Amino acid sequence: MSRPPTWKTLLAFGTIFLVWGSTFLAIRIGVHEVPPFLLAAIRFLLAGGAMVGWMLARGVSWPTAREWRSAFLLATLIFLSNYGLVFWAETRISSGVTAVMQATIPAFLSLGEILILGTRRFSWRLGAALLIGLSGVAVLTSDSLSLGGAAVDRLSAGALLIASFSWSLGSALTRKLPLPESKPMSSGAQMLAGGVWLFLAAVVLGETRGFDPRGVSMHAWLALLYLVVAGSIAAFTAYIWLIHHHSPTRVGTYAYVNPVIAVLLGYFAAGEPLGARTALGTACVLVSVLVITTMPARAAAKVSS
């Protein structure tokens, strides 16, 4: 991969750090009034459609059938399995805790580099970091610890771990599958495909029955607008660009910035609880992320036949 300009890298990282950290609260606002899979579907259909339309207007070629197959495969992992479960979880738990649970993504990204990309070897340091991260999840979900505050709903926590794994697998496959050369077209096609999967899920789950958009408040529509423009068009495009120019583990450093922003926003803007349980669980997860993302990537040893 060619080395991109430093200013582009800083701008892309700044976008996913700040914007994605704030989208958890926007999701929380939206799912109070719009069913989760339906809200996610609207977000990515609008964002993906706008991105693809913009690229076509600029003369970028329509993705090939092979590229669309890749986009729909990745959308199953990144949008249906990850975003769908994140939106659903936020109907049950706080936006800050959701962000903390999503901070486990770098751990799964490292496993993806070991098992799929072959750019990292398993080590005792990585194993210790994974255990610390899992300890943080245990702190958040355990009923037996006397830390004050209610334990996080275990079903939601399990769903978010599945979501993190799905995102990480999709990120690793992004560098293996044929996708449009234009990064905006690639991100637009994936978002559009994700919107299709999420809408189908919303229909199957019965979320579209009886839903009346006239009953949705302006706050929820503004949250959706923010998710579409900032969270999807700007931030996801920045992420796709980064994942093609830097290692997945380095890109995954956003996972220890986003939770801090999300927890603080949830506390100050939405009155979400911030007690010892949340603080300790967050600290464990962030230490795990810090250890993993500062480990040097080493090429896997070749196996001779």
Report the pLDDT averaged over residues 31-36. Answer: 96
Q: Distance between CA 242 and CA 74 in Å, rounded?
A: 16
Under the banding of pLDDT at 50, 70 and 90, the label for residue 39 is: very high
Under the banding of pLDDT at 50, 70 and 90, the label for residue 126 is: confident
Q: State yes or no: pLDDT of 119 exceeds 80.
A: no
In this predicted model, what pLDDT tens digit does every residue of 46-56 receive, in sequence order? 999 999 999 99
> How are the residues of the chain apportioned to helix, strand and coil, as percentages rounded to the nearest 5?
75, 0, 25
Least confident of 57-61, 196-200, 245-249: 245-249
In this predicted model, what pLDDT tens digit does every residue of 181-199 receive, in sequence order? 998 899 899 999 999 999 9
Q: State yes or no: pLDDT of 249 exceeds 80.
A: no
pLDDT at 300: 32
Under the banding of pLDDT at 50, 70 and 90, the label for residue 75 is: very high
Nearest residue to 61 via CA among 180, 178, 179: 180
Q: State yes or no: pLDDT of 299 exceeds 70.
A: no
Q: State yes or no: pLDDT of 9 exceeds 70.
A: yes
Cβ atoms of 262 and 93 closer than 8 Å? no
Alpha helices in 32-123 (DSSP H): 36-57, 65-75, 84-89, 95-102, 105-112
Q: Which residues contact 243 (CB under 8 A, 6 or more apart)?
A: 171, 174, 175, 251
225 exposed, middle or buried (CB, 10 Å; 0-12, 13-18, 19+)? middle
What is the residue type of 230? A
Q: Distance between CA 225 and CA 121 in Å, rounded?
A: 42
Cβ atoms of 37 and 88 closer than 8 Å? yes
**What value does the mean pLDDT of the chain take?**
86
Q: Which residues contact 73 (CB under 8 A, 6 or more apart)?
A: 173, 177
Report the pLDDT averaged over residues 157-173. Answer: 89
pTM: 0.84
